[in-house]
Amino acid sequence: MRIFLLFKELYVDAFKGIGGPAVAILKPMSWLCFACISIVLYAFVYRVMTGFPFF
């Protein structure tokens, strides 16, 4: 849980100094990137756990 709070603090601090339309574009884009990376990691871990032959 502590790691999650550290990431949250980093996220809030990253967008604190930026204002205007830049935040309106960058915030959703960062969430989209996070979601895509999470899906890729889930798929990789799933394949490793089910014994998928990579080679």
55 occurs within a structural domain: no
- What does the pLDDT read at residue 46? 94
42 occurs within a structural domain: yes
d(C-alpha 53, C-alpha 26), whole Å: 38
Nearest CA-CA partner of 18 in 29, 3, 4, 2? 29
Comparison of pLDDT for 42 and 7, the residue scoring more:
42
Report pLDDT digits (tens) over 16-47: 777 778 778 888 999 999 999 999 999 999 99
54 occurs within a structural domain: no
pTM, 2 dp: 0.60
29 occurs within a structural domain: yes
37 occurs within a structural domain: yes
Confidence of residue 52 (pLDDT cuts 50, 70, 90): confident
If one counts the domains in the chain, the total is 1
- What does the pLDDT read at residue 23? 75
- State which residues form the domain around 29: 2-49
44 occurs within a structural domain: yes
34 occurs within a structural domain: yes
Please state, in angstroms and as integers, the Cα–Cα distance from residue 49 to each residue in 38, 43, 44, 52, following that order: 16, 10, 9, 8
